[in-house]
Amino acid sequence: MRPLKVGLNLLHLVPGHTGGSEIYARRLIPALLEGAGTDLVLFAPREGAPALAAEPWAGEAEIVELPVRGASRPRRVLAEQTLLPRAAHRARIDLLHNLFTTAPAVPGVPQVTTILDLIYKRFPEAHSGGRSLGMRTLVPISAKRSKRIIAISEATKSDVVSFLRVDPSHVDVTYLAPGFSDEIDPVPEAALRERHSLGDAPIILSVSAHRPHKNLERLIDAIAAIDRPFVLVIPGYETSWEEELAAHVRRRGLQERVRLIGWIGDAELEGLYASATCMVFPSLAEGFGLPVLEAMARGLPVTCSNATSLPEVAGEAALYFDPLDMPAVTGAIERLLGEDELRERLAAAGRKQAAKFTWTRTAEGTLRSYERTLAS
């Protein structure tokens, strides 16, 4: 019996621009390859294919580069609907797995689609212009034309069932896992402080894309009330709201206490996790909440909002707050900055909680979803 041949739709993989969804794709692939009986064909845009080809596992998968520039979302969407089904047919795959929430309307083969989140339904302002219209049009079609849906949390599954009217028995939950590599050497703290002009104050870290639902303006307002030394560092890929967020920092007169440093490499991010005193994550809604899990795995104490999927991820290992209550956000951060025993307790609990999430388990759940798809 020949191995199951699975195509992975990676047309929305644009290295350095897609945050947690990129981590999901690039960590899931090697975990799937470790499982027996599955051959993978990776359909990628011109920017994504070279990055995949440079991975140590590249020789174990077939990489098919499609003639589309990943930086153009409209072109990626068009290619997903036209070029991808033809490429899937030529590759003679048994099943197509779409990893980035949207899928071909006419795939030509059974397909499973991972819906990472439905933020566009909860917070329409998080996606501007044509992208918002595209999500409202494409995601419901993708859900309807997929035999099964993979959600990355129970909260996301609940949204899929409620907003897209999908039968809950057709939705599988597969959690993510920490995305970092043990082989990365972190940039030393002194070098990071000099590079980003951080001074010598304690670092409050908030790894987050600069988008409205991430609630960063409220976080900035909340930290303005903290009367002790600190510097808030917010790394994350830049968006069309970048200047608005920077202007808010200026309006509050916090240029010396807030650093919006954009997308950084793995070594710098590792260095920041190692150098920070605590992690704060005030998001109003998440599909999963990978930065929270990664902070806990590194032993960094976490305070985060009590919204959507975050309690699923952090369990009892985080200090929670209502993300709409600025005094509550301020108080939680002040506690972590000032209480050594609390930080130590949360760090230990965080490592234990994070150990429950592995890419092997993610791959196993994904393979079970494939089996259910082909059996239906």
Q: How many CB atoms lie within 10 A of CB 201?
A: 15
How far apart are the C-alpha atoms of 284 and 256, rounded to whole Å? 26
Evaluate whether residue 183 is within a structural domain. no
Question: pLDDT, tens digit, for every residue of 265-283?
Answer: 889 999 999 999 999 999 9
193 and 97 in a common domain? no
Pairing of strands 95-98, 148-151: unpaired
Evaluate whether residue 129 is within a structural domain. yes
CATH number at residue 250: 3.40.50.2000
97 and 38 in a common domain? yes
How far apart are the C-alpha atoms of 62 and 70, rounded to whole Å? 19
Digit-by-digit pLDDT tens for the chain (376 residues) are: 678 999 999 999 988 666 678 899 999 999 999 977 799 999 999 989 999 999 999 999 999 999 998 678 889 999 999 999 999 999 999 999 999 999 999 999 999 999 999 999 988 766 555 566 678 899 999 999 999 999 999 999 999 999 999 999 999 999 999 987 777 899 999 999 999 999 999 999 999 988 899 999 999 999 999 999 999 999 987 778 889 999 999 999 999 999 999 888 889 999 999 999 999 999 999 999 999 999 999 999 999 999 999 999 999 999 999 999 999 999 999 999 999 999 999 999 999 999 999 999 999 999 999 999 999 8
Evaluate whether residue 182 is within a structural domain. no
* C-alpha distances in Å from residue 355, one per residue of 27, 172, 294: 16, 21, 10
Give helix 216-223 / helix 326-338 axis angle, nearest 10°: 60
Domains in the chain, number: 2
Amino acid identity for residue 179 in this structure: G
205 and 159 in a common domain? no
Residue 31 belongs to what domain range? 4-177+358-375
Residue 84 in contact with residue 106, Cβ under 8 Å? no
306 and 202 in a common domain? yes
Question: What's the pLDDT score for residue 13?
Answer: 92
Q: Contacts by 344-349 with C-beta closer than 8 Å and gap 24+?
A: 344/301, 346/301, 346/302, 346/317, 346/318, 346/319, 347/299, 347/300, 347/301, 348/299, 349/296, 349/315, 349/316, 349/317
283 and 152 in a common domain? no
161 and 13 in a common domain? yes
Evaluate whether residue 94 is within a structural domain. yes
264 and 137 in a common domain? no
According to DSSP, the residues that pair with 313 across neighbouring strands are none
230 and 173 in a common domain? no
237 and 128 in a common domain? no
How far apart are the C-alpha atoms of 288 and 275, rounded to whole Å? 24
Per-residue burial over 10-49, b = 16 or more CB atoms within 10 Å of its CB, e = otherwise:
bbbbbeebbbbbbbbbbbbbbbbeeeeebbbbbbbbebbb
368 and 286 in a common domain? no
How far apart are the C-alpha atoms of 259 and 265, rounded to whole Å? 16
Evaluate whether residue 184 is within a structural domain. no
254 and 148 in a common domain? no
How far apart are the C-alpha atoms of 68 and 14, rounded to whole Å? 11
222 and 165 in a common domain? no
How far apart are the C-alpha atoms of 228 and 39, rounded to whole Å? 55
Evaluate whether residue 150 is within a structural domain. yes
